Amino acid sequence: MSISSTITVQPVRSRQDYHTFVELPWQVPQDRPMVRPMREFERHLFDRGRRFRGGLSASARLDALLLGKENPFYEHGDLEMFLARDGGRPIARIAAIQNRLHNEWNHDQVGFFGFFQCVDGGESGRLATRELVDAASDWLRSRGLTSIRGPFNPTINDDCGIWTEGEAHPSFMMPSNPRYYPDLIQAAGLSPVKTLRVYRLDLTTIPENDWTRWLRMAERVQRGTGVTLRGANFKDLDAEVKNFLSIYNAAEEVANGWGFAPMSFKELRSMAELFQYLIDPNLIRAAEVVENGIPKAVGAVISVPDLNEILRNTGGRLVHPATFWKIFRMKRGHPTRRIRVVFLGILPEYRHTPASAMLLFDAMRMARKFGATEVEGSWVSEDNPSMCKPLEDHGFTITDRYVIYEKALA
C-alpha cells in the first residue's frame, strides 16, 4: 500500500474534529523554545457561533468573556478548517481563508491559507500538506478566488509567515515552526513571494553617552517641531483606538502596499480590550501636534512585552496560575527581558518630519526604562527600506526571517 492511499483529508464537521484541530499543534516537534498557539484564541476564532462547544460550555463562556462573543474577522471574512489523517492518525491541519476586505481593497481575487501545522517532516508530511493545500485551493476556487497565499493567521494584521532562519525563541505574537515546514510548503507547489525580517538590538551594548546624545537630539527636535510624545490613554479606549487605527492603516498602506488590507475598528478594539490589562500604557506611544488648538495624533509606536517568556510554561492556556503570578510580578518590577515593537508608523503627510526617528528612540528608551535588555522590531518586509534603514542605523541586526508563499489556482 502506498503512503498516499493512507492520507485522507476532511473538513472539520464534528466536536471531535474541532478538538483535534485545536490540539494538533501540541503534537508538532519544535526546533527552538517557543509558545504554541493559545488555546483560548484558537477556540474563539475557530468555533464560530459556538457550533462545537455549545453556548453553555465553560470554555465558550470563558472565551466570550476574554475575547468577545465572536471574532471580528467574520465581519469581512470566512474560513474552513481541514484535517489530514494518515491511516486515521491526525497528522496535519490547515485553514482556507477568504478575506473579502482584502479583495475589496486590493481589487483582486486572492485567497489565503493559515494555521498550518504538521507533525511529520517526511514523505507522509509532504503528502498530507499537498492534500491539505489542494483541499484549501478547491474551497477558495469555488468562491471565485484565483490564487492561494499564506500563511496568514488569519490576516496580514495577525501573525503570519513560515519561519526559515533564526535561533532565539520567537517573541509574543510571532509564529514558530519546525525547520521542515518550508520543504513541506514548497513540495505542495507554493513558491516564496515575500520575505519578512526580524530585527533585534541588545540594549546593554549601547554606551551611556549615546543615550544622552539621542535624548538631547530628541528634545531639540521636539522644541523645533512642536511634536510631543505621550503614552496610551486606556481610560478612553474607543477614542484611543480610533487615533491609533487611523495612523496604522494610513502608514501600513504606504509602507506595505503589497497585500495590505486595513484593520477594522472592532479588530483593533478587540486586541486593546485584552491587552490593556497586560501592557504598560507607557510602552504604547503617540506623537502629537497641535492643530487649531487641538492635539492631533500623527504617529504611533506599539510595543509589547515578550509575554512568551510568561506563557511558555502554561500549556497554551491564557488563564493559568503561572500566567497570573508572572504578570503580577511583571507589574511589580520583574519585566520581560525582551520588548517587541509591533508597529511604528507616521501619517503620510508627516513622513518628512523627524517624528518617526523620535518614536523609534522613544520606544528604545521606554523599553530600557521598563527594564528590558533587548528590543525587537518585527516584522519588517525585506523590501521596505523606509523601515529597514532606520533600524539598521540604530544598530538593530537581522536575527530571523519568515517567508510568505503563493501559487496560482488554475
> How would you write the chain as a 3-class SS string?
CCHHHHEEEEECCCHHHHHHHHHHHHHCCCCCCCCCCCHHHHHHHHCHHHCCCCCCCHHHHHHHHHHCCCCHHHHCEEEEEEEEEECCEEEEEEEEEEEHHHHHHHCCCEEEEEEEEECCCCHHHHHHHHHHHHHHHHHHHCCCCCEEEECECCCCCCCECEEEECCCCCCCCCCCCCCCHHHHHHHCCCEEEEEEEEEEEEHHHCCHHHHHHHHHHHHHHHHHHCCEEEECCHHHHHHHHHHHHHHHHHHHHHHCCCCCCCCCHHHHHHHHHHHCCCCCHHHEEEEEEEECCEEEEEEEEEEEECCHHHHCCCCCCCCCHHHHHHHHHHHCCCCCCEEEEEEEEECHHHCCCCHHHHHHHHHHHHHHHHCCCEEEEEEEECCCHHHHHHHHHCCCEEEEEEEEEEEECC
Question: In the chain, what are the domains?
Answer: 3-196 (3.40.630.30), 200-400 (3.40.630.30)
CA dist 335 → 65, 281, 331 (Å): 27, 14, 7
* Confidence class for position 256, pLDDT limits 50, 70, 90: low
Q: What are phi and psi of 16, to 5 degrees?
A: -65, -40
pTM listed for this prediction: 0.92
Does pLDDT of 62 surpass 80? Answer: no
Torsion of CA 390, 391, 393, 395, to 10 degrees: 170
Q: Which residue has the higher pLDDT, 313 or 376?
A: 376
CA distance 318 to 8: 33
Residue % of the chain over a pLDDT of 90: 61
Contact predicate 247/346, CB 8 Å: yes
Q: Which residue has the higher pLDDT, 10 or 332?
A: 10
Does pLDDT of 349 surpass 90? Answer: no
| Per-residue cell: 162 | 513560515
Amino acid at 20: T
CA distance 138 to 102: 19
Contact predicate 363/377, CB 8 Å: no
Q: How confident is the model over 88-142, as pLDDT tens digits?
A: 999 999 999 999 999 999 999 999 999 999 999 999 999 999 999 999 999 999 9
Does pLDDT of 180 surpass 80? Answer: yes
Mean pLDDT (the chain, rounded)? 89
CA distance 385 to 254: 12
Q: How confident is the model over 143-167, as pLDDT tens digits?
A: 999 999 999 999 999 999 999 999 8
Q: Among residues 357, 344, 355, 346, which one has the least CA distance to residue 247?
A: 346
CA distance 336 to 322: 14
Query: Per DSSP, what are the bridge partners of residue 405?
Result: 150, 192
